[in-house]
Amino acid sequence: MLQEERFAFILKELAEKGAVKVNTLAEQLHTSQSTVRRDIRELDESGKLRKVFGGAVALEPSVNTVESDVLTRESRNTAAKDAIARYAATQINENDFVYIDAGTTTERIIPYIDSSLTGSVYFVTNGIMHARRLVERGFRVFLPGGVLKATTEAIVGAGAMEYIDNCNFTKCFMGTNGVDPSRGFTTPEMDEARIKAQAIRHSYITYVLCDSSKFDNVSSVSFGKLNCACIVTDRLPNEIYRNITVIKEVEA
């Protein structure tokens, strides 16, 4: 087994169990304990785990509890977000009923949507700017009622939840603040997490769009397990994610 494959296995075991033992890993990997110790040492030095006597333990991720405003997020990782959005737009087809989540990466999908689809694709979004830009391009857009958040310009609350509960989307495009093997997809704010989870439950296919900076980060509230969606990213920093869900890497 290649070293990269052993690394992925060790990190997967840690994500599931929180701690691993050298002797157990050696048996599972059909290799020597000295090889496992060396692998653990290298993973510890690269900041992927914490080496302890006889094995290793998972790192406790710091939890992000603050939601940045739209202008701040728009200026981050723009090339990666554009590449991700360009690919996502190609997944929208004739007769789709699409949910687009509020967020700076999902908003970048809109300019890339094929203009020939204006008469056949319907959109629902909880993003105010998303709705306006879709309408400007000639698409038919449904905007749920609810409470408008100033920081993210997203509609949340009971009215939006009820609206989405009556929908059956063919595709859903979702943003996220954090992606973690054990915590799943996360966001800092409870009301937004509820809307995201509701949209995922009512979608046949979900794409989560996230640049590489979102991986191995955790925010306050989880809204979905990793295997509920295809992740579209510019770069996968940790191969463990390939063992959990479908990954599409695009070139920025």
pLDDT value of position 243: 86
* Angle of CA points 223, 224, 227, to nearest 5°: 165
The percentage of the chain sitting over the pLDDT mark of 70, rounded to a whole number, equals 93
63: which strand partners? 218
Cβ 67 vs Cβ 188: under 8 Å: yes
CATH of domain 63-249: 3.40.50.1360
For the cut 70, the answer to whether the pLDDT of residue 98 exceeds it is yes
pLDDT value of position 62: 59
SS3 label, residue 125:
strand
Instruction: Report CA 7 to chain centroid distance, whole Å.
Output: 22
pLDDT value of position 65: 58
Return the higher-pLDDT residue of 67 and 170.
170
Q: 89, exposed or middle or buried, with CB in 10 Å at 0-12, 13-18, 19+? A: middle
Q: Where do the structural domains in the chain lie, given as residue ranges? A: 3-57, 63-249
Q: 121, exposed or middle or buried, with CB in 10 Å at 0-12, 13-18, 19+? A: buried
pLDDT tens string 156-214: 999 999 999 999 999 999 999 999 988 999 999 999 999 999 999 999 999 999 999 89
For the cut 80, the answer to whether the pLDDT of residue 72 exceeds it is no
For residue 103, give the nearest of 160, 162, 172, 198 by alpha carbon.
172
User: DSSP assignment of 144-199, as one string?
Assistant: --SEE-TTT-BEESHHHHHHHHT--EEEEEEE-SEEETTTEEEES-HHHHHHHHHH
pLDDT value of position 61: 61
Record the pTM: 0.75
- Residue 148 — pLDDT band, cuts 50, 70, 90? very high
- Residue 69 — pLDDT band, cuts 50, 70, 90? low
Give domain 3-57's CATH number out of 2.40.110.10, 3.40.50.180, 1.10.10.10, 3.40.50.300.
1.10.10.10
